[in-house]
Chains A and B, each alone.
Chain A
């Protein structure tokens, strides 16, 4: 019988005899020692059960009548219960000293049973620090006034420091009207508490959510709503909404869509981001974005729907604003495009008349022309062409900027195209005695706007001629580079300073205005070339060393740029037809 827990004795004796006899007189004053707990609580105070009583009772129950078992068997049974019960059972004397405790103490508090038996409960921190004074007072009440504590929830600490929650039941054990001992049953409710906290957190989140949350059953009948829902529908009372069919909250036009949505929820489990209009109590319509998911019970059986709606009035307003702005921009674009079209017509028509007359004069269709007159007409034609080129450049840059440049892609033999360009340009090289060398790899045909690419090539070759020294060469070569055809135009001129190499593709930029002025031009050629190459899905760049020359390179993809024609196909083929 060694190590027999007091609680076993107590349970056994209480079971057999009812109230235990006690010799110990209640002395509440002694409890004052609890306030300043001390290890020196005399061991003797523990032995409040008279050895004689103990012996006597054991003898008496040697044969337990009802169960026909021996006292030992009965004790074993109680011990088994004591040790295996899921709660911690603490048995204390009326001073608060722990007389016995079951093994659960280790699981719950991380304390060893042998370390705490004999210690005062105030020293062990079972009831937390902040609740200790209250516990001491309650303990006194229990001892003095036969009070009990039922299911008191306290925050406590495990030995390793982590927070735990316990549920405490305390009963006085009385003998002859006196409190003889205290029975304390502690249950670890940490898990439950955590779940509760989680629930509270979620419930607060639902409550405080600025989005409307509506819970309905499978028939779409509203079961509950949160605060935001009441605000959204303009009511103060949940009862205005509970019991209603949730589809009735949506405008009639949206109902069919909502029904289809509900079907989808049942199939898929959820729908997200659907837009509806809801009707408030005052009959106002509010645009909302709604997500609905299915609500299931523990067994995974659908029991209803959770609908989350967000008021998107502001977003809709912003969208509408953007839409209006887009319409306005499109209109401006059209105006710009029409302006370009008209300008283009207005600039070209007089140019046609001027050139036509000059050409007729030069061809002597209108009579004989003297050599002096011919020189004069040549000068007029040269300058007319220069003006014409400038007009074309300005129109090109405007079209590129407004996205209204017209591209006419066609199957093109690259080598043939380059030969045509060099033949045309060779005439310009005579003054400086410049030779154009070509090195052309055999290439597949490309789908490009031949005229526009020729324009780029001529621009690059023309620049190369301008900046090449006398008696030098210009190298023009083409080769495959991955999925692109690479074009290279190299001169041995003065070169372009590194810091300006990127800027030369900007509009109106000129490397050296003095030098460039000498050669004419307004600085649009390269930026037009860049626009044309990019529209084809290629890229253009330059590498240059001062004093050694420059190499302009551009690529054209083998796969034609898809949007090139699409982008311009909507263009009215007659341009603007009315003045």
Chain B
């Protein structure tokens, strides 16, 4: 079963995505911010992570850097508020792990489509 980890500091959004994913039949785990995410990742071993880019604590860059030093290699889908150019996307994907982004406010189908692209 595909394991999805939802990292977002907004409880309602976190739970909405969780509900959506559970209904789709994915196994989920939640984290409120970067440190918690990094702590849980070894145990949960997610395949895909939806990662909010604006959270208290660690910055997205810091999270991605720390993640690269770890054994786990989940695919990261960023939840952003901005659109990215092709060049920026490339830069983003070079940071390792990041495979896609979905700009808020997103339609649930957009997020689901993105996730399904990476479900093996």
Contact = CB atoms under 8 A, between A and B. Distances in A.
Interface of A: 341-342, 344-345, 348-353, 355-357, 359-360, 363, 365-366, 388, 406, 408-410, 451, 565, 571, 573-579
A360 B13 contact: no
Given A356-B16, A410-B86, A573-B84, A348 B53 contact: no
A411 to B, nearest CB: 11
B38 interface: no
B65 to A, nearest CB: 13
B20 interface: yes
Interface in B13-61: 13, 16-17, 19-20, 23, 52-56, 59-61
23 contacts: A345-B81, A348-B105, A349-B52, A350-B13, A352-B104, A353-B13, A355-B106, A356-B106, A360-B23, A365-B23, A366-B19, A408-B83, A408-B85, A408-B86, A451-B83, A565-B85, A571-B82, A573-B82, A573-B84, A577-B53, A577-B60, A578-B56, A579-B56
B66 interface: no
A522 B80 CA distance: 27
A575 B83 CA distance: 10
Interface string B78-105: 0011111110100110000000000011
A576 B83 contact: no
A451 B82 CA distance: 13
Contacts of A451: 83
Closest 5 CB pairs of A and B: A577-B59, A348-B104, A351-B105, A408-B85, A352-B105
A53 B61 CA distance: 125
Contacts of B107: 355, 359
Contacts of A410: 85-86
Nearest to B91: A573
B12 interface: yes
Contacts of B106: 352, 355-356
B13 A578 contact: no
Nearest to B16: A356
- Of A359, A366, A577, chain B has the most CB atoms within 10 Å of the CB of A577
A355 B12 CA distance: 12
Contact of B82 (A342, A350, A575): A575
B119 interface: no
A148 B109 CA distance: 119
B60 A353 contact: no
Contact of A575 (B12, B54, B108, B109): B54
B61 A577 contact: yes
B61 A574 contact: yes
Contacts of A565: 85
A408 B9 CA distance: 29
A199 to B, nearest CB: 68
A402 to B, nearest CB: 14
Contacts of B83: 406, 408, 451
A481 to B, nearest CB: 28
